[in-house]
Amino acid sequence: MKPRLWLALPLIVFGLFLLAVGWRLSSPPDPTVKSRLVGQPIPDFTLAAAVPGKAGLVSADLKDGGPRLVNLFASWCVPCLAEAPVLMDLKRRGLPIDGIAIRDASADVAEFLMKHGDPFRRIGADPQSQLQMTLGSSGVPESFIVDARGVIRYQHIGPIMPQDVPMILAEWEKAR
Partner 1 sequence: MIAEVGLAALWLAAALALLQLAASLIGQRLGDARAIVVPVAVAQGALTLFAFSMLIWLFLRTDLSVELVAANSHSQKPWIYKLAGTWGNHEGSMLLWVTVLALAGAALAMLERRLPEKALQAALGAQSALALGFFAFLLLASNPFARLNPAPPEGQGLNPLLQDPGLAFHPPTLYIGYVGLSVAFSLAVGALVTRDVGPALARAMRPWVLGAWVLLTIGIVAGSYWAYYELGWGGWWFWDPVENASLMPWLAATALLHSINVLAARGGLRTWTIMLAVVAFSMSMVGTFLVRSGILTSVHSFAVDPTRGSFILALLTIYIGGALALFALRVGTVREGARFDLVSREGALVANNLILSVILGTVFVGTLYPLFVEAATGEKISVGPPYFNAVTGPLTLALALLLFLGPLLNWRRDGRPNMRRIALPLIVTAGVFVASFALQPAMSALTRLGLSVAAGLAVASFLPLVGRKLRQTPLANWGMVISHLGVAVTMAGAAADTAFTQERLAAARPGETLQLGPWSVLFLGVDPVAGPNWTAVEGHLSATRGGATLRLDPQSRFFSDPQTETNEAAIDTLWDGQLYTVLGRAEPDGRWQLRLWWKPLVTLLWLGGALIALGGLLALIGRLLRDRRQRVRAEEAFG
Question: Is residue 65 near partner 1 by the rule CB under 8 A?
Answer: no
Q: Find the part of the chain contacting partner 1 (CB under 8 A) among 3-11, 74-82, 137-145, 168-176.
A: 3-11
Question: Is residue 64 near partner 1 by the rule CB under 8 A?
Answer: no
* Nearer of residues 14 and 46 to partner 1, judged by Cβ: 14
Question: CA-to-CA distance for 47 and 120, rounded, in angstroms?
Answer: 15
* Nearer of residues 59 and 138 to partner 1, judged by Cβ: 138
Q: Find the part of the chain contacting partner 1 (CB under 8 A) among 5-13, 36-44, 127-135, 163-171.
A: 5-13
Question: Is residue 22 near partner 1 by the rule CB under 8 A?
Answer: yes
Interface residue with partner 1, options 19, 114, 167, 170 (CB under 8 A): 19
* Nearer of residues 23 and 92 to partner 1, judged by Cβ: 23
Please count the residues of this chain forming the interface with partner 1, following the rule CB under 8 A.
Answer: 22
Q: How far is the CB of 49 from partner 1 (least distance, A)?
A: 31
Question: Is residue 163 near partner 1 by the rule CB under 8 A?
Answer: no
Q: Find the part of the chain contacting partner 1 (CB under 8 A) among 6-14, 61-69, 115-123, 137-145.
A: 6-14
- Write phi, then psi, for 28 (nearest 5 degrees): -60, 150
The separation between CA 137 and the C-alpha centre of its own chain, rounded to angstroms, equals: 8
Question: Is residue 52 near partner 1 by the rule CB under 8 A?
Answer: no
* Nearer of residues 22 and 66 to partner 1, judged by Cβ: 22
**Which string of DSSP letters, residue by residue, matches the chain?**
----GGGGHHHHHHHHHHHHHHHHHHS--------TTTTSBPPP-EE-BSSTTS--EEGGGGGSSS-EEEEEE-TT-HHHHHHHHHHHHHHHTT--EEEEEES--HHHHHHHHHHH----S-EEEETTSHHHHHHT--SSSEEEEE-TTSBEEEEEES---GGGHHHHHHHHHHT-
Question: CA-to-CA distance for 125 and 105, rounded, in angstroms?
Answer: 9
